[in-house]
Amino acid sequence: MTRSPLRDALVGLFVLAGVAAGIYLSLAVGGLSYAGPHGLRLIARFDETGGLKVGAPAAIAGVKVGQITAISLDPEFRARIDLDLDSRLSLPIDTSASIMTAGLLGDRYLDIQVGGDSKLLRSGDEITFTQSAVILERLIGKLIHGADLGDGSAKTATPAPTDGKAAVPDRTRAP
Amino acid sequence: MEFEGRVIIRDLSCEMARGKISVVLGGSGSGKTTLLRLMAGLLEPTAGRILVDGEDITRLSETRRAAVRRKIGMMFQAGALLDSMTVFENVALPLREHSSMSRLHVTEVVDDRLREVDLLDIEDLGPKQISGGMVKRAALARAIIEGPPILLCDEPFSGLDPVSTRRIEALLIALNQRHGMTMVIVSHHVRSTLRMADRILLLLPDAIVVGTPRELLQSTDPRVVSFLDEDRPFEGRAPEVERLPVLAPRSKARRR
Amino acid sequence: MRFAALEELGRAAILLTAEFGRLASFAARVVRSTVTRPLRIGSFIDELYKLGVLSVLLICVSGLAVGMVLALQGYKSLVRFGAEQSLGALVGLSLVRELGPVLTALLVTGRAGSSVAAEIGSMVATEQLDGLRMMSIEPIGFVVRPKALAMLVVMPMLTALFIVSGLAGAYFVGVKRMGVDGGWFVSGFRSAVDFHDDVLQALVKSLAFGALAGLIATYRGFTSAPTSEGVSAATTSTVVVGSVSLLVLDYALTALWGVGR
């Protein structure tokens, strides 16, 4: 037990350094629980989620306002997405939601375009204007064949930008 | 007592009398260390019982054995001092662990003991920094620090020069005389044994001889004689032996 | 002829299971001893020093080196796809999820684990443990517990240090040498590495590794043959068995972690 005060000091330093490193790592990374406000629960249906994951962010103008809480298949074989958004948001009923890609290797997220109606969406409502995720292969297929390839689009294929953002929205479904 | 298929001790039954110095004598491999470890409860016999102070320790759990061991001090062959502590800390360890003596009191008692074994001036050194003789003396001090009624010693004289040997011998005899400590000593050192033992248990390859030093010295058995007479040159196999004070085959080692 | 081989296999299987059982009961004794007094904090702190502080240099240098290599290799692969701005994400994820906990555990097992096994093994050989028993001091509480506990505590801290060193090394190579934008690097790291998925995973893994390494090292030392060959066998087997079981445990934890999501 030949412990000197120096040893104890070094041990203390070591523990501090280790804990500090741990804390730094915890804070420096994302996702330390979305402690943001939530409460506005909405759903949205899509023909194609393109790999959108539960926990992915929902953003307005690029700012995170909530996240995806569930993804399931509805009876008509469309993807049903459950959202949990900041309850302070006032979203009109003609708000639209599109599945976008963040960066080249980035994950899918939900982009919300605020509408202009006077009536607002409440918890439990459905966002009716949706735009599915763009699948690169289908896009390339359209380019090559210049025709509708059964994904619901009625337009002739046009060279679309390859950053994942579709320039033309899908035929939207009326409520 | 078997060990990995080899029978080390067979049919041994004896008593180590209270307050007396009993020496287990024998050549290497005779099983004397095994016997001592059995008595300490560090080994369990494959057959038979071991009683310490009337209590059967043979099948006791570790925790219960630990309680019995409070009555026993043990001095190991290589000292078995903890390398991570100084001599002082080693000797003080039993006191610190088992009693709530104040630091001052502990220091007092430990220093007294160290003075008895003449190690006071090196008490702050580690076991690796002192000589073999010093290690043994420290081990002795540690074994008796709590004043146990029983002391077990595994080869206390091995590896020591004659001066240190006599020193330890004197210490042990003094302890026995002053405190009436029951001692069981394992040794192959004939001379010290003859000098200090009240009773000798001689483990020969095929027999066990028990007696006082005088009895053994007067024995006519060639094996006994040749063992005791260290200066005699080696002679080879001894002829068969008749009447010897050999113990009847029973398996009860009892120490009172 | 073939039966002999089968017999051998059967015997080996039985021995292995028996060994496992012994390890398990040893583990139970160690765990039980953690709640018995005296707490021996002094010993524990001493072990933290011997196992932790003395490993810091090794861990930081290794972490730095690994981070640098990661950045180099990662850059070379990513630049082919024009994706070098994802270097931060690549390095961050690799380090935090796998390389950090696993490499730290392997290094620590090699260094600290083998020293623990050797220390305890030599205590067995020199009868120090028997000496403790004769003084009615339970060797597991006195010797094993502080060491095992220290291994457990030390591992996550060293892992964190390893990861941070790795990031520093990667930053140095990626940003300063290879020219990746520093901002991208950091933001790539931030967005790709998630607390729940990754940092927490690293923590849980490092704790599990610490417990396993501590257990194996102390067990091997404790049960070593009381000879010098026994001690060296204990040391080698600690490193070998420890390393292999760490890697297997890593797979198990990684797989389980995905399930919980």
Residues C84-117: tens digit of each pLDDT: 778 888 888 899 889 999 999 999 999 999 999 9
For B190-226, the pLDDT digits (tens) are: 888 888 888 888 877 777 778 888 777 777 777 777 7
Mind telling me how many Å the CA of C105 is from chain A's nearest CA? 15
Give the type of residue at C100.
G
B78 vs C: CB within 8 A: yes
pLDDT for B229 beyond 90 = no
Q: Is B69 on the interface with C (CB under 8 A)?
A: yes
pLDDT: is C239 or A151 the higher one? Answer: C239
**Residue B251 has what pLDDT?**
40
- On chain C, the residues whose CB falls within 8 A of the CB of B44 are none
Give the confidence band of A151 by pLDDT, cuts at 50, 70, 90: low
Tell me the pLDDT band of A165, cut-offs 50, 70 and 90: very low
Specify burial of residue B255 (Cβ count, 10 A radius: 0-12, 13-18, 19+).
buried
Choose the weakest-confidence range: A128-137, B33-42, B63-72, C177-186.
Answer: C177-186
Residue A105 sits at the chain C interface (C-beta within 8 Å) = yes
Q: Six-digit token pair at C25?
A: 């009961």
Neighbours of chain C (3+ CB pairs under 8 A): A, B
B215 touches chain A (CB under 8 A): no
Closest chain C residue by Cα to residue B142: C135
* A contacts of C157 (beta carbons < 8 Å): 14-15, 17-19, 21-22
Inform me whether the C-beta atom of residue A2 falls under 8 Å from chain B C-beta atoms.
yes
Q: Per the CB < 8 Å rule, is C127 touching B80?
A: yes
Burial, A160: exposed, middle or buried (Cβ in 10 Å; 0-12, 13-18, 19+)?
middle
Out of A117-131, B39-53, B183-197, which region has the weakest mean confidence (pLDDT)?
B39-53
DSSP E strands: which ranges in chain B?
Answer: 2-3, 6-7, 14-16, 21-26, 49-52, 55-56, 72-75, 150-154, 182-187, 199-203, 208-211, 252-255
Across the beta sheet with A39-46, the strand order is A126-127, A39-46, A79-86, A63-73, A57-60, A108-113, A96-101, A129-131
Q: Is A15 on the interface with C (CB under 8 A)?
A: yes
Residue B95 touches chain C, beta carbons under 8 Å: no
Angle at which helices C114-125 and C228-260 cross, to 10°: 140
Residues in chain B closer than 8 A to C130 (CB atoms): 37, 40, 42, 74, 76, 80
Q: Is residue A175 very low, low, confident or very high in pLDDT (cuts 50, 70, 90)?
A: very low
pLDDT value for A29:
67
A86/A75 Cα distance (integer angstroms): 29
Overall pTM surpassing 0.90 (yes/no):
no
Q: How far is C135 from chain B (nearest CA, A)?
A: 6
Q: How far is CA A98 from the centre of its chain?
A: 9
Q: Residue A115: what pLDDT?
A: 84
Residues of C in contact with B94 (CB under 8 A): 135-137
Say if CB C192 and CB C92 are below 8 A apart: yes
Nearest CB among C46, C127, C138 relative to B66 is that of C138
Nearest to C195 among A31, A102, A104 (CB): A31
DSSP E strand boundaries for A102-152 = 108-113, 126-127, 129-131
Most confident by average pLDDT, B81-90, B124-133, B167-176, C64-73 = C64-73
- Give the model's pLDDT for residue B7: 56
Question: Is A1 an 8 Å CB contact of chain B?
Answer: yes
Domain boundaries, chain C: 34-260
Any C CB within 8 A of B170 CB = no
CB contact under 8 A, C48 and A11: yes
Contact status of B103 with chain A (Cβ, < 8 Å): no
**Closest Cα partner for C95 from C170, C151, C157?**
C170
Most confident by average pLDDT, A138-142, B95-99, C121-125: C121-125
Question: Exposure of C163 by Cβ count < 10 A (0-12 exposed, 13-18 middle, 19+ buried)?
Answer: buried
Would the CB atoms of A22 and C195 count as touching at under 8 Å? no
User: Does B69 sit within 8 Å of C133, measured CB to CB?
Assistant: yes
CA separation for the pair C30, A72 (Å, rounded): 47
Q: Which of C143, C157, C162 to mutate to test the interface with A (most CBs of A within 10 A)?
A: C157
Positions in chain C short of pLDDT 50: 261
H/E element holding C209? helix C200-222
For residue B116, give how far its alpha carbon lies from the nearest alpha carbon of chain A (Å): 25
Per-residue pLDDT band at A49 (split at 50, 70, 90): confident
**A26 and chain B: CB distance < 8 Å anywhere?**
no
Question: What residues of chain A lie within 8 A of the CB of C52, using their CB?
Answer: 11, 14-15, 18
- Among partner residues C96, C163, C190, which is closest to A30 by beta-carbon distance? C190
- At C159, which helix (H) or strand (E)? helix C145-171
| B94 and C CB contact within 8 Å | yes
Nearest to C126 among B42, B69, B78 (CB): B78
User: How confident is the model at residue C250, as a pLDDT?
Assistant: 93
Residue of A nearest to C165 (CA): A21
d(Cα B1, Cα B34) in Å, to the nearest integer? Answer: 9
The region, left, alpha or beta by phi > 0 then psi within -120 to 50, assigned to residue A74 is beta
Q: Which chains sit next to A, with 3 or more Cβ pairs under 8 A? A: B, C
Chain C residues within 8 Å of chain A (Cβ atoms): 42-43, 45-46, 48-49, 52-53, 56, 82-83, 86, 89, 92, 96, 154, 156-158, 160-161, 163-164, 189-191, 193-199, 202-203
C195: nearest CB among A3, A24, A26: A26
Q: Does B84 touch chain A (CB under 8 A)?
A: yes
Chain B hits for A1, CB-CB cut-off 8 Å, are 84-85, 89
Tell whether the model's pLDDT for residue B232 goes beyond 60. no
Do residues C66 and C173 make contact, with C-beta atoms less than 8 angstroms apart?
Answer: no
Q: From the CB of residue A48, how many other CB atoms can be counted at a distance below 10 Å?
A: 18
Chain C residues whose beta carbon lies within 8 Å of the beta carbon of residue A104:
82-83, 86
Say yes or no to pLDDT of B18 above 50: yes
**Is a pLDDT exceeding 70 seen at residue A162?**
no
Choose the closest CB to C135 out of B37, B62, B94: B94
- Which residues of chain C neighbour A26 with C-beta distances below 8 Å? 195, 199
